[in-house]
Amino acid sequence: MTDRDTNRWRGVTALTFAAGALGVALQEPFALLVGVVGVAFAAYASAGTAPTVDLRVERTVSDPRPDPGDEVTVTVTVTSEGRWLPDLRLVDGVPDALAVVDGSPRLGTALRPGRRAAFSYTVRAQRGRHAFDPLHVVARDFSGASEREVRVEAAEDADPAIVCAPPLTTALDGVPLRRQTIQHTGHVTTDVGGSGLEFHTTREYRPGDSLTRIDWKRRAKTGEFTTIQFREEQAAVVVLLVDTRDEAYVRYDDTSAVEYGVRGAGEVAAALLDEGDSVGLASFGPHWTWVAPGLGRDHRLTLRDTLALDPGFEPTPPDRQFLSALTVRRLRKSLPGDAQVFVFSPVLDDDIADAVRRLEAYGHATTLISPDVVTGSSSGATVARIERAARLRSLRRAGVRTVDWNPDRPLAAALADAERGWRR
Amino acid sequence: MSAITRRPTRLGSGISVLVAVTALATLLAPPSVGTLVAAPGVALLGVGLLRGRRAPVTAGAALVFVGVLVHATTTADPLLPLVGAAATVVAWDVGEHAISLGEQLGRDAPTRQASLTHAAASGLVGLATAGGAFVVYTATSRGQPLAALVLLLFAAVVLTTALRR
């Protein structure tokens, strides 16, 4: 709470002096009489004191759980529970990540005791949990000579947050995974014969082979027992790592690279879960967030909520310090030995390139999906573009699969293009 | 629509200019040198409100006030100059208030209630001052020298102010 003199009436006594001077000099009593006006307003200005602000603030939102891009109307009602507030200026604490698209989150009003005033505005919903900041209040007295500035929290039962958690959906028709060895049925095809769907080879029957895999036609024809081998399909363990460091909050088309990363991770997660792969999630940023790989509907919900709402994936840049080495160490400790890693990062600095290279070197097959968010034709942008291309090249040489993703195009198209490159 | 239009509120600016014109109107019967001084003051105040600048508003109001004073030396009746002076101060007050509302809340925010309340309070004080001064003047002007009476008024107001602190 701050009390201030606005000093707006500072010059008003000068009027009295001017009137007095003129009146005395010209011996004109009426001019002197006019000077009374100056004195009266000076008295008016010094009569008031900064008003006591006793407000009850209630906030309602039209939809507390919108989808991204939906418009949400926020209505703020203030009730004066104390004295008369003749000049009340209110600015609502709109969450940082939400843009006001219609109306104004501000109100100038006057409130008699017990009266209420309301204003509303519309914001466009974005992924994340958005709590409102306190209402910023400036109250002046009648003359406006003194003012009090306070922040008022909305009443506890009337302070909803906007929670926007988009469902995990995907436009991807499968995700190209790297080869690996692990013993779960799934969708990484291997060159190992065994149980599966696709024919691989036949071999001599060995005791213990499943009856369903015996080639009964050949048995009928020749009398030998042979066993059919199918191409073994394995489930992959994939951990999605989203770059959420300050460096990744670079905007492209009004959306940050972190946002593209989170969307990409959501798509990949949905596609992999649909295929029966086990999917984990981690945040490469100052808020360490880790979801161990898993399967199933509950896990899908966990992933969805973590991606949308966890502080590790916040839509606004973090204000904490980030320690790259510590995070890589934590990540190594948490990653299952056979896990593949999908990294989502704009790769605008060497730290992340280093981290990716190390993951690959530690034996985690790593795929980098990099939204290309560098725009503009300034020399800075050109340098950033050249450096980024060099980093991607060097990662490719180190064995990392890279996908250069232009965010204007769907991820599916970028993946398809990249896959063509890997096959060559 | 992310940027705020930080311009003075329309209502406050309108009232301010209207009151300033009223102040000018009190100097028209009959016009004097004071009217000539005050007229550009009103224009300056209007320009200041269009631009959202305080300095021209204050300078314009000061000019009108000087005009009122000069005009007061030419009239036989103090009522109109008193009203003109009060209206000048009210015009400045409402105008400055409109600018500050515009700065803090922007033109898109609803500010009607704040503008109206402020203008009403300011107007009441102006009317009471002009009226009160005129009543005291007419009631007591026979006999006493006017200068003594005015100084007495000053003293009374200053004393009340000092006591309130």
Give the mutation candidate from B32, B97, B100, B163 for the A interface (greatest A CB count, under 10 A). Answer: B100
CB < 8 Å from B in window 67-86 of A:
86
Chain A CB within 8 Å of residue B154 CB: yes
What is the nearest CA distance from B117 to chain A, expressed in angstroms? 7
Of A200, A186, A160, A145, the closest CA to residue A3 belongs to: A145
CB-closest option in B2, B75, B126 to A30: B75
| Residue A274: how many other CB atoms lie within 10 Å | 16
Percent of chain A with pLDDT over 90: 45
Inspect the interface and report whether the beta carbons of A109 and B111 lie closer than 8 Å.
Answer: yes
Average predicted confidence (pLDDT) for chain A: 87
Residues 6+ apart with CB under 8 A from A297: none
* Global model pTM greater than 0.80: no
Chain A CB within 8 Å of residue B126 CB: yes
pLDDT digits (tens, 9 = 90+) for A367-388: 999 999 988 888 989 999 999 9
Quote the ipTM score.
0.89
Cβ–Cβ gap B1/A109 under 8 Å: no
- DSSP class of residue B76 equals S
Supply the DSSP symbol for A173. S
Strands (E) located in A262-393: 278-284, 290-294, 340-344, 366-371
Chain A residues closer than 8 Å to B60 by CB: none
Name the A residues in 4-43 with CB < 8 Å from any B CB. 6, 8, 11-12, 15-16, 18-19, 22-24, 26, 28-43
Q: In chain A, which among 303-322 make CB contacts under 8 A with chain B? A: none
Least trusted range by pLDDT, from A220-234, A404-418, B48-62: A220-234
Using one digit for the tens of pLDDT, what is the confidence trace for A34-78?
888 888 898 888 888 888 899 999 999 999 999 988 999 999 999
Question: In this predicted structure, what is the pLDDT of residue B144?
Answer: 65
CB A231 within 8 A of CB A190: yes
- For residue B1, name the pLDDT band (cuts at 50, 70, 90): very low
Give the pLDDT of residue A316: 84
Q: Cα distance from A251 to chain B (closest Cα, Å)?
A: 16
What letter would DSSP give residue A132? P
pLDDT at A210 over 80: no
**Residues near A6 by Cβ (< 8 Å), separated by ≥ 6?**
A140, A144, A145, A146, A147, B100
Q: For residues B42 and B47, give the distance between their C-alpha atoms in angstroms, rounded to a whole number.
A: 9
Residues forming a β-bridge with A140: A87, A147
Does B3 reach chain A within 8 Å, measured CB to CB? Answer: no
- Mutation target for A interface from B82, B125, B165: give the one with most A CBs within 10 A: B125
- How far is residue A279's CA from residue A295's CA, in Å, rounded to a whole number? 7
Q: How far apart are alpha carbons B61 and B89 in whole angstroms?
A: 7
List chain B residues with CB under 8 Å of A117. Answer: 113
Q: Is the pLDDT of residue A207 over 60?
A: yes
Q: What band does A251 get if pLDDT is binned at 50, 70 and 90?
A: confident
Structure tokens at A417: 């293009």
Q: Which of A19, A106, A138 comes nearest B69 by C-beta?
A: A19
Interface membership of A107 toward B (CB under 8 Å): yes
Please state the rounded mean pLDDT for residues A107-126. Answer: 93
Q: How confident is the model at residue A106 (pLDDT cuts 50, 70, 90)?
A: very high
Question: DSSP strand E in A46-204: where?
Answer: 55-61, 71-80, 85-93, 99-103, 106-111, 116-124, 128-130, 133-140, 146-152, 162-164, 185-204
Would you state the pLDDT for residue A315? 84
Q: Quote the pLDDT of residue A6.
A: 86
Q: How many whole angstroms separate alpha carbon A411 and alpha carbon B114? A: 52
Collect all residues with Cβ–Cβ distance below 8 Å to A124 and sequence separation of at least 6.
Answer: A69, A70, A71, A72, A98, A99, A101
User: Phi/psi at A57 (nearest 5 deg)?
Assistant: -110, 125
Look at residue A102 and tell me whether its pLDDT is greater than 60: yes
The more confident residue out of A32 and A149 is A149
**A46 Cβ under 8 Å from any chain B Cβ:** yes
For the stretch B101-149, pLDDT in tens is 999 998 889 999 999 999 999 999 999 999 988 888 887 766 666 667 6
